[in-house]
Amino acid sequence: MITRLPVKFSISGCPTFRFLMGIIALCFLTCYNVTSFAVAAEVNVYTARELQLVSPAFETFTATTGIKVNTIYIKDGLEERIKAEGQNSPADVILLVDAAKLITAKEMDLTQPVSASSLEKAVPSILRDPAGNWFAVTQRSRVVYASRDRVAQSAITYEELADPKWKGRVCIRSGQHPYNISLFAAVIAHTGADKATEWLKGLKANLARKPSGGDRDVAKDILTGICDVGIANTYYVGIMRNSPDPDQKAWGEAVKTLDTSFAGAGTHVNISGAAVAKNAPNREAAIQLIEFLTAEQAQNMLATLNFEYPVRSGIDANATIGLFGPIKADPLSLSEIASYRKRASEIVDEIGFDQ
């Protein structure tokens, strides 16, 4: 008679099982460390900048680092899309064309702070968020275009545009356009809301036509004699003069940019800038791309191809400075100016500027 003894079997006690589990754990830890500390092979950019203006820099970044740049161009509603995507958003870098847009993205909790000594050295403090949530990549001056044939002066103040001598001679795009709201906010920062309101009323009284179109239309209307001066960004002159379109070349050649400033201060500037998205899946690659865009090679490239001013000092030999001369920027920080944007927009509506 064979007696069967009860046997207790535990798989966790099996030496082979323990060995296999050890191998699996080691593989898991190794894979985790690789994905945690290696820079990703790609970076996703949500951009409101037209792709032809940034693609050459992105291509150079990829050639230099091996990191592929995936771009999604969203002209309007970029911030709202990222907000809707939430934690699942693939956005790594947010690239916008107005300081206020970048500040709004921060206020919407779409960005994250970055502490990088290379960015702090490259980008002056007035051109970046104090907490590191966004950094300027390029600067653009908002100046006065003037007819080469009908305007003799080479310099002007923003305040002078409200002088009755310019009655019926000024063109501008919509007062509610972000570029103009930033300028008007800067006027408030310099003079206060009451004086800014009176200045805007004087500017409106001098308009040759209803505010409309874009900055290139300002140059076009100066060529055709609708107006003699107008407010626009510097870089459009470079773009028009180098355009394959003969009409745009003619618009660009018809105007000169006046040395424009606030009385006793400098020229109003705005920026294109970049931020690391709050839920960036490739954070380190995102920081690396922004560092590249503010480094010497890309700064030279953007200034030469796009006719914008570098944010990095010492980038002197480029087509932008050749066309417009060195920038003499208003010392007010962009964050301070942006704090007056809401009031500027209200004043534009209150005086019926666009009507």
pLDDT at 314: 81
Examine the domain organization and report whether 201 and 307 are in the same domain. no
- Give the pLDDT mean for 279-291: 98
Q: Would residue 26 count as lying in a domain?
A: no
Q: How far apart are CA 237 and CA 183, in angstroms?
A: 19
Q: Would residue 1 count as lying in a domain?
A: no
pLDDT at 304: 87
Q: Per residue in 314-343, pLDDT tens? A: 886 577 888 888 889 999 988 899 999 999
Q: Would residue 60 count as lying in a domain?
A: yes
Q: Would residue 329 count as lying in a domain?
A: no
Phi, psi of 347 (to 5 degrees): -65, -40
Q: Are 346 and 197 in contact (CB under 8 A)?
A: no
pLDDT at 9: 33
Q: Would residue 328 count as lying in a domain?
A: no
Examine the domain organization and report whether 292 and 262 are in the same domain. no
Q: How far apart are CA 197 and CA 351, in angstroms?
A: 8
Q: Are 268 and 182 in contact (CB under 8 A)?
A: yes
And the tokens for 166? 């310019």
Examine the domain organization and report whether 55 and 122 are in the same domain. yes
pLDDT at 39: 62
Q: Which residue has the higher pLDDT, 8 or 142?
A: 142
Q: Per residue in 2-40, pLDDT tens? A: 333 333 334 344 444 344 334 434 343 333 333 334 567
Q: Would residue 30 count as lying in a domain?
A: no
Domain extent at residue 98: 42-139+269-321
Report the C-alpha dihedral over residues 264, 211, 165, 247, rounded to 10 degrees: 100
Q: Per residue in 199-209, pLDDT tens? A: 999 999 999 99
Q: Would residue 49 count as lying in a domain?
A: yes
Examine the pLDDT at 50 and tell me if it is beyond 50: yes
What is the sign, positive or negative, of the torsion defined by CA atoms of 177, 179, 180, 184? positive
Residue 161 DSSP SS3: helix
Examine the domain organization and report whether 85 and 104 are in the same domain. yes
Looking at residue 248, its amino acid is: Q
pLDDT at 335: 87
Examine the domain organization and report whether 202 and 230 are in the same domain. yes
Looking at the chain, the whole-number percentage of residues with pLDDT higher than 90 is: 79
Examine the domain organization and report whether 147 and 230 are in the same domain. yes
Q: Per residue in 96-121, pLDDT tens? A: 998 989 999 999 999 999 999 999 99
Examine the domain organization and report whether 210 and 342 are in the same domain. yes
pLDDT band at 313 (very low <50, low <70, confident <90, very high): confident
Q: Would residue 247 count as lying in a domain?
A: yes
Q: How far apart are CA 85 and CA 78, in angstroms?
A: 11
Examine the domain organization and report whether 85 and 224 are in the same domain. no
Examine the domain organization and report whether 345 and 232 are in the same domain. yes
Examine the domain organization and report whether 251 and 149 are in the same domain. yes
Mean pLDDT for the chain overall: 89
**Contacts for 210 with CB less than 8 Å, ≥ 6 apart:** 354, 355
Helices (H), the chain: 15-37, 51-65, 78-85, 99-107, 117-122, 178-191, 193-205, 215-223, 235-241, 246-254, 283-293, 296-306, 319-324, 334-338, 341-350
Our count of domains for the chain comes to: 2
Which CATH number belongs to the domain containing residue 346 in this structure?
3.40.190.10
Examine the domain organization and report whether 190 and 274 are in the same domain. no
Examine the domain organization and report whether 171 and 253 are in the same domain. yes
Q: Per residue in 169-182, pLDDT tens? A: 999 999 999 999 99
pLDDT at 30: 38
Q: Per residue in 80-101, pLDDT tens? A: 999 999 999 999 999 999 898 9
